[in-house]
Amino acid sequence: MSKKSLLIGLASIAMLMTGCSGSNTQAATMTASYLSPSVMKYSNMRPKYNYYTLEFSMERLQTFSDGTYQLDVISQVYSALILPEEGSAATGNERTNYVNSYYGTFTSTVDDLDSNTLHLELASPTRIVSTYDAAYYYDTANWTDAMSAIEYTDIAGNKTTYTSGDEYLSKNKFESASFVASIDTSSIQYVTLEFVKAE
């Protein structure tokens, strides 16, 4: 590896570690980190496919001193999950794992009746980083030709390619999101994101 390549790599890592504030001359500091409970979603793929899936997901919301956020949606998908009545020998087929990280700006207000409750309003993200099953990733702010060549396959077997970071962002961002956080326990309710309908 050349010295130039090494420097570029180190600079990229530094920007990711500073979240949304990578472009600022002085890196913003994290002000809070909240975690949701895990939720389960069941999808019956029959009769088109002879299996069903169980998806377990949780959300982590981090806020920063410059008014930006990072929302991570962490998911694991299994099929043919069998939980025995006795013992702990559960079985199942791991289908996929993925993490979607959304970056943008937010506002917050303390609840009028409970100073331990914080209301957070997340604007639609301006950047998405998606990592799929230890196989590949997308970064809308640092798009490459290799990302355009990726053939994304969803759980139903549908295949999609994206030509640019702007296209991926427009088709995978959410409108906005409202979270209620408990300050004392650093927890949030899980929120089902409402995604923008691309034209």
**Mean of the per-residue pLDDT values of the chain:** 86
- What type of residue sits at position 148? S
pLDDT tens digits for 44-60?
878 877 778 889 999 99
**Residues 137-169, buried b or exposed e (16+ Cβ, 10 A)?**
ebbbbebeeebeebeeeeeeeeeeebeebeebb
In the predicted structure, residue 113 carries a pLDDT above the cut 80 = yes
Q: Give percent above pLDDT 70 in the chain.
A: 84
**What does the pLDDT read at residue 142?**
98
Contact 59, 36 (CB under 8 A): yes
pLDDT tens digits for 23-44?
444 789 999 999 999 999 988 8
Structure tokens at 197: 């309908």
Q: What is the rounded radius of gyration, in angstroms, for the C-alpha atoms of the chain?
A: 19
**What does the pLDDT read at residue 12?**
40
Contact 192, 169 (CB under 8 A): no
CB atoms < 10 A from the CB of 31, how many?
A: 13
Give this prediction's pTM.
Answer: 0.81
Q: How confident is the model at residue 199 (pLDDT cuts 50, 70, 90)?
A: low
Contact 117, 154 (CB under 8 A): no
Give bridge partners of residue 132 from the DSSP assignment.
Answer: 98, 136
pLDDT tens digits for 67-112?
999 999 999 999 888 888 888 888 888 988 999 999 999 999 999 9
